[in-house]
């Protein structure tokens, strides 16, 4: 038994040493799985789009921290979450049935609902506290969770898939906090991805993600190879066109070749409301061509040496992150090969009917990414 007050005080003291001061505690709560705090960083601001306001507003950053010291959601990934939700629509033209494994900050769910494409969205989340915490992150979480299209199951996402044998989805989004251990490594194995594939419609897609630092290191090569062992086509997409969260890449698996219809992408863009375009503009997306320019590469186009030499991640042999003094060494050659693979401007875009400006916008974006990441340390 750990005294509640003592734990939260210790958590606050530790966070005060690693986050910019001063910190303000917005909410504290606990359940059977975790004790969590929502903290506000009073000197860190970002622009946020409120649908009821004419212009984006400046608000303070807020983050959720659980008793295992992991951050969950928070406003730092606001633009990444928004972009990912909008990206699901062009990658699958009719995402009627969607499954979210991991609720996080709730931003993905809220944005998907605003797109008004999905007929049903199922959410599998193991931690009840995240539903409460998300209401403190500048969104109406209660309204989203009570939407008649939404059903929530408090459970482990993998068990949910095992039991959902009769269900099929157009889109499955896996957002469990990245490949960082503490159980999340079992959401990156061949067996889990096979489960996802079995629950997809024939034209369905699975959207997962990985940070640039891991994606261009040994864990990332292994994960890309694992995805390619399960899905017929695996593509990588940049997180946003702005630099704060561009490096959280979407890894998308499909049972058949992925091809975005540019005419439909234009129609989707034309149907957006003004506040939605403002939100996307903050993420560096100012037109349908910018969505297409987020494409990075196909995993097997061509196969880099580091990918061919990587091992497949399985339940018996998942990725085991190394922390502390024994932290896994970074292979500079792997980083270079990974960045070259992602920043190659000669990839064929999986977009039919794309005008020349799509290629131009992608080349401009790749130049910006190259300036941002080449020679720098990226996580």
Q: Tell me the pLDDT band of 373, cut-offs 50, 70 and 90.
A: confident
Distance CA 224, CA 119 (A): 31
Query: What per-residue confidence (pLDDT) applies to 375?
Result: 56
Q: How far is CA 334 from CA 95, 146, 247, in A?
A: 36, 46, 16
pLDDT at 279 over 90: yes
Query: What per-residue confidence (pLDDT) applies to 326?
Result: 44
Query: What is the percent of the chain where pLDDT is above 90?
Result: 72
Q: How far is CA 346 from CA 340, 341, 368, in A?
A: 11, 10, 16
Distance CA 82, CA 99 (A): 16
The CATH number of the domain covering residues in 77-373: 3.40.50.150
Distance CA 336, CA 221 (A): 13
Domain-by-domain residue ranges, the chain?
77-373
Residues 156-188: b if buried by 16+ CB within 10 A, e if exposed: bbbebbeebeeeebbbbbbbbbbbbbeebbbbb
Query: What per-residue confidence (pLDDT) applies to 325?
Result: 45
Average confidence (pLDDT) over 1-11 = 79
Distance CA 134, CA 140 (A): 8
Note the residue count of the chain: 379
Q: CB of 83 within 8 A of CB of 59?
A: no
pLDDT at 139 over 70: yes
Question: Per mean pLDDT, which range of 63-72, 113-122, 176-185, 319-328 is the poorest?
Answer: 319-328
Selected residue with higher pLDDT from 68 and 135: 135
**Which of 102-106, 149-153, 344-348, 368-372 holds the top average pLDDT?**
149-153
Q: What tokens were used for 4?
A: 């509640």
pLDDT at 181 over 70: no
CA-wise closest residue to 82 among 110, 40, 44: 110
Work out whether strand 120-125 and strand 97-101 pair parallel, antiparallel, or are unpaired. parallel
What are the start-end ranges of the E strands in the chain? Answer: 23-30, 35-48, 57-65, 71-72, 97-101, 120-125, 150-154, 169-174, 200-211, 233-237, 248-254, 260-261, 295-298, 351-352
pLDDT at 95 over 60: yes
């Amino acid at each position: 038994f750990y005294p509640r007050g003592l734990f939260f005080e210790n958590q606050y003291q530790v966070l005060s040493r690693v986050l910019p001061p001063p910190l303000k505690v917005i909410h504290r709560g606990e359940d059977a799985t975790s004790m969590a705090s929502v903290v506000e960083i009073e000197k860190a601001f970002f622009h946020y789009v409120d649908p009821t306001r004419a212009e984006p507003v400046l608000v303070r950053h807020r983050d959720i921290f659980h008793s295992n010291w992991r951050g969950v959601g928070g406003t730092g990934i606001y633009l990444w979450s928004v972009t990912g939700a909008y990206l699901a629509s062009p990658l699958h033209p009719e995402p009627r049935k969607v499954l979210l494994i991991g609720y996080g900050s709730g931003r993905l769910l809220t944005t998907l609902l605003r797109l008004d494409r999905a007929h049903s969205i199922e959410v599998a989340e193991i931690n009840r506290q995240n539903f409460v915490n998300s209401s403190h992150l500048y969104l109406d979480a209660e309204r989203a969770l009570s939407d008649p299209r939404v059903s929530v199951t408090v459970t482990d996402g993998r068990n949910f898939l095992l039991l959902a044998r009769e269900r099929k989805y157009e889109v499955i989004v896996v957002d469990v906090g990245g490949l960082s251990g503490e159980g999340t490594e079992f959401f990156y194995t061949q067996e889990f991805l096979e489960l996802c594939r079995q629950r997809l419609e024939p034209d369905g897609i699975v959207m997962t993600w990985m940070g640039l630092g891991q994606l261009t290191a040994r864990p990332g090569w292994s994960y890309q190879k694992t995805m390619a062992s399960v899905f017929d086509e695996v593509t990588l997409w940049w997180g946003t066109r702005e630099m704060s969260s561009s490096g959280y890449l979407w890894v998308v698996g499909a049972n058949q070749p992925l091809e975005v219809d540019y005419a439909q992408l234009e129609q989707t863009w034309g149907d957006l409301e003004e506040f939605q375009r403002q939100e996307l503009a903050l993420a560096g997306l100012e037109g349908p061509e910018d969505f297409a320019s987020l494409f990075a590469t196909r995993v097997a186009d061509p196969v880099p040496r580091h990918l061919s030499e990587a091992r497949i991640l399985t339940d018996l042999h998942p990725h085991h992150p190394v922390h502390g003094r024994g932290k896994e060494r970074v292979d500079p050659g792997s980083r270079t090969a990974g960045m070259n693979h992602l920043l190659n401007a000669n990839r064929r875009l999986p977009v039919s009917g794309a005008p020349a400006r799509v290629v131009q916008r992608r080349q401009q974006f790749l130049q910006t990414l190259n300036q941002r990441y080449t020679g720098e340390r990226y996580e």
